[in-house]
Amino acid sequence: MREASQSTHCSVARTLEIVSDPWTFLLLREAYFGVRRFDRFKSNLGIPGSTLASRLQRLVKDGLFKQVRYQESPTRHEYKLTEKGRDLYPSMLILMKWGDRWLAGPEGPPLSIVHKTCGQPSSALVTCSHCNREIDITDVTYRDGPGAGHGKGTARRRLRRSSNPDNFLRGRKDSVARTLKIIGNKWTFLILREAFFGVRRFDEVRRNLGISTNILSDRLQMLVGYGIFQRRQYNTRPKRFEYVLSERGRDLYSVMIAFLRWGDKWLAVAAGPPLILHHTPCGQDFVPVVACSVCGSAVDNFDMDYMAGPGAARAETADGSPPTAAAEAPTPPAA
């Protein structure tokens, strides 16, 4: 198991390189709500035009958006989600669910979901492709897949990150944004990934990730502050601590495997997935599926309707931004 986690410069990390940029993430989210045009992205998010242009270009280059001409003179383009871009949506739902559960506050989630296929108020679950049961962190074992160890050469040019994590909360307020504000940072997520593989000790995490001591202390402190890790002393002389996932932290596991599914499908090297997941209860290798909690069928951007949830009013007034998310349903597929 340890070998597997070390060799996975895994699909999750690659996926996070794409979505952990706040603007990129927010643009994707707008697209899931049906926004396609430059001016609309610009006004909904209050994003500077040049930043918007470069992020859209990047999303096209990464194959998440495609540029489609909708007017001849003057030439105008809109940005539509590709299949690859659309397929990231279920992972976003899992993020939202985690945020709803742990960060929404006493008012409840800002946005409720109805699964159109079954017509029921729903949430998303990560299930086993083989037995359809919900995946629990304790039920999964790992081994290297054919693509293990192939990822190191895929480092991407870093986007200039917006320094302010509050950018995640711009425009529409919802639990996805709140969640990414905490975990939408590559190192933070990689530290969590180590924890999901059972690594608890500072030095071991540092060694596995090649992360600097001060960044690691900083991130661990933050994660303890958010209640994702509990710090436990395991040695008195010298004093040594380990970092154990809380219930809230363990619950992030579904977020990780939802991203893993997308990354393996769309970003994995030709050799195949770097990591194979094995579901102990059914005894089969599996692919994580993001499914409706009521009917169990796999969910898609266009199967979901949104309603204002109990926490919507608070979210709107938090910075005076307009109540957009709750009022707007995603547009139907144009293809």
Q: How far is the CB of 170 from Zn ion (least distance, A)?
A: 31
Residue 9 near residue 148 (C-beta atoms within 8 A): no
- From the list 43-51, 66-74, 172-180, 291-299, the region that binds Zn ion by CB under 5 A is 291-299
Quick note: the x/- pattern for Zn ion over 127-146, rule CB under 5 A, is -x-xx---------------
* DSSP tally for the chain: helices H, then strands E: 15, 12
Q: How far is the CB of 256 from Zn ion (least distance, A)?
A: 18
Residues 51-90 that bind Zn ion (CB under 5 A): none
Q: DSSP label at 303?
A: G
Other Cβ atoms less than 10 A from the Cβ of 317: the count is 11
Residue 247 near residue 87 (C-beta atoms within 8 A): no
Rule CB under 5 A: is residue 280 a binding residue for Zn ion?
no
Bridge partners (DSSP) listed for residue 17? none
Q: DSSP label at 230?
A: E
Q: How far is the CB of 276 from Zn ion (least distance, A)?
A: 13
- From the list 20-28, 37-45, 86-94, 289-297, the region that binds Zn ion by CB under 5 A is 289-297
Nearer to Zn ion, 45 or 128 (CB): 128
Rule CB under 5 A: is residue 118 a binding residue for Zn ion?
yes
Residue 195 near residue 245 (C-beta atoms within 8 A): yes
For tokens 């918007």, what's the residue?
52
The HSE-up count of residue 74 (CA atoms within 13 Å, CB side) is 0
Q: Which of 282, 287, 298, 308 binds Zn ion (CB under 5 A)?
A: 282
Q: Which of 53, 295, 327, 334 binds Zn ion (CB under 5 A)?
A: 295
Q: Which of 36, 115, 173, 193 binds Zn ion (CB under 5 A)?
A: 115
Beta strand 124-128 with 288-292: parallel, antiparallel or unpaired? antiparallel
Q: Which residues bind Zn ion (CB under 5 A)?
A: 115, 118, 128, 130-131, 279, 282, 292, 294-295
